[in-house]
Structure 1
Amino acid sequence: MTAPMPQYPELPDNALIVLIGASGAGKTTLASTWPASQVLSLDGLRGVISDDPGCQDATGDAADVLKLILERRMARKLNTVIDATNLEQPVRVDLVMAAKRHGMPTIAVIVATPLSLCIARQDGRPDNRRVPEDTVRTQHKAMVHSVQSLRAEGFNETFFVGGLNRLEPYLRRLSEARSADLGLDGGDGLGDLLLVRRVFGPEILPLWQWKDGSDVAGGDRVAEIRLGQLYLTLALRTDVDGEGDYGFDVMVPCPFDPECGGYAWAPAWSIGCLHRALTGQLDNHEDIVCTVHGSFDDVDQEADDHAAQALEAARG
């Protein structure tokens, strides 16, 4: 018999939710359980302003932008999550006041990750995102001390992250998105673009166009990725290596004869393969197959056969 799911407190549908924790506590991971449009991240806004999320010189400007966006979202009564490490008491009070001006509830979520883990997580970060150990210690101490004062700062509710169920809404949102992609929600879904997204990623979909009726791939389905005058031609293979697997080839120049009138194809396993094809880095790929010359193995074998014939003729 399945045990009943524990009862967790419900967060308001629309509120100001402030994540409080030291660098490395996992605030950004937690924030990702909400839709991206609802999250105001100081790192993200630094990236918008300076093209570098770790640019500390841009922190002041990023904080100004955060306050402006927050004010507008609170006026629209929209759920908003704040993901920022340097949230000292005066800054938190400003955030709470912005919400209260528009009658929005305020929630503090404490991400009380052990200090040792917060420090250990700095090692895997790039230099401009790595926070010094003494700073992490100071932030962690401030987080602990803030627990008792959050109500006095104006927060309506205070929760520790371990007391919330963010996994269920996160999985529900992902499930709904996946169902929409598959057309299980009654819509068209991605249809024949589903495999394209799986292989090359969702960003390529607006550039993708099937070229049904093209015969350049020996009867297999052909597509084109085009932006302006530049384009790539791809073929959908439905029996890769004779094993019945699905995959894509990208058209490249014939490596055996620049005047070849056939079509040469190289496997395209990822978006990186498309970049290499466009820049010529696949032009001599070992797995290229030309409809006229075959593969490198075929060409080498043909050369060996000619050499053997010449040697036999010479001996004769």
Structure 2
Amino acid sequence: MNFAFEPGSLIVLVGGSGAGKTRLARRWPATWCLCLDDYRAMATDDAADQSATPVAAQIQDLLLDARLARTLTTVVDSTALMPHVRAHLLARARYWQRPACAVLLDVSLERRRLLNSTRERIVPDHILLDQERLLPTVEDLLDEGFASVDRITGPVDLAPARIGR
């Protein structure tokens, strides 16, 4: 998979559970990747403990600002399905005058269910359905202010289609 981002960009992975975000994030150096699951696990010994999300988000923000201030490319590995979460990330990129790019993992619900069933930590089906309803379109992401959107519709090994303004 070939991505071309300006050095120092904020790259936001957007997609539901089981879409392949973490697998995709592993294609970049580990130091580039900020993952809410990891910070929840560090705070509670349980990556699925949603009660730890506020502290995990604080850790993510601290590291995000530290990296963007140094013009370091940064990948955010979380679902990023809520508009206010994306707006916050876009605001941080604007503050540090860094381009923000989205990678939309627009993977079918059927495929996400299949991948989810093989995970160590299985996400309940009703959450997968809720996430499906929250998935933004490419146009939504561009309208929000992302400089470009790479859309992936199949397994993470496939090349994305770049859409930008």
TM-score scaled by length of structure 2: 0.86
Which of 154, 162, 175 aligns to 2:145? It is 154
Give CA-to-partner distance per residue, 1:205-251, whole Å, 9 cap, x none: xxxxxxxxxxxxxxxxxxxxxxxxxxxxxxxxxxxxxxxxxxxxxxx
Give CA-to-partner distance per residue, 1:118-138, whole Å, 9 cap, x none: 112222234xx3211121122
Matched to 1:160, the amino acid is R
Give CA-to-partner distance per residue, 1:154-189, whole Å, 9 cap, x none: 111111134449xxxxxxxxxxxxxxxxxxxxxxxx
C-alpha separation between the residues in 2 aligned to 1:73 and 1:87? 23
- The residue that corresponds to 1:255 in the other structure is none
Structure 1 residue 131 and structure 2 residue 123: aligned?
yes
- The residue that corresponds to 1:242 in the other structure is none
1:72: how far off?
1.5
- The residue that corresponds to 2:155 in the other structure is none
Structure 1 residue 30 and structure 2 residue 21: aligned?
no
Q: Which runs of 5+ in 2 are unaligned?
A: 153-157
Higher RCO (CA < 8 A, seq sep 6+): 2
1:78: how far off?
0.7
C-alpha separation between the residues in 1 aligned to 2:123 and 2:141? 25
- The residue that corresponds to 1:256 in the other structure is none
Of structures 1 and 2, the larger Rg is shown by 1
Matched to 1:37, the amino acid is T
Structure 1 residue 89 and structure 2 residue 83: aligned?
yes
Change in CA separation of 1:14 and 1:86 when aligned onto 2, cut-off 3 Å? closer
1:113: how far off?
1.5
> Contact (CA 8 Å) 2:71, 2:98: kept in 1 or not?
yes
1:1-316 matches, cutoff 5 A = 10-126=4-120, 129-143=121-135, 145-161=136-152, 162-164=158-160
1:9: how far off?
5.9
C-alpha separation between the residues in 2 aligned to 1:15 and 1:66? 16
C-alpha separation between the residues in 2 aligned to 1:21 and 1:53? 17
What count of residue pairs does the alignment treat as equivalent? 156
Give CA-to-partner distance per residue, 1:49-73, whole Å, 9 cap, x none: 2222222221121112111211121
Give CA-to-partner distance per residue, 1:62-112, whole Å, 9 cap, x none: 112111211121111110001102531111011011011111111000111
Give CA-to-partner distance per residue, 1:260-303, whole Å, 9 cap, x none: xxxxxxxxxxxxxxxxxxxxxxxxxxxxxxxxxxxxxxxxxxxx
Identity over aligned pairs, percent: 36
1:151: how far off?
1.4
C-alpha separation between the residues in 1 aligned to 2:143 and 2:94? 14
SS at structure 1 position matched to 2:139: coil
Matched to 1:107, the amino acid is C
Q: Which runs of 5+ in 1 are unaligned?
A: 1-7, 166-316
C-alpha separation between the residues in 2 aligned to 1:164 and 1:119? 21
Give CA-to-partner distance per residue, 1:4-48, whole Å, 9 cap, x none: xxxx66222220000011100000000000000000011111112
TM-score scaled by length of structure 1: 0.46
Matched to 2:145, the amino acid is G
C-alpha separation between the residues in 2 aligned to 1:62 and 1:36? 17
C-alpha separation between the residues in 2 aligned to 1:77 and 1:100? 12
> Contact (CA 8 Å) 2:36, 2:77: kept in 1 or not?
yes
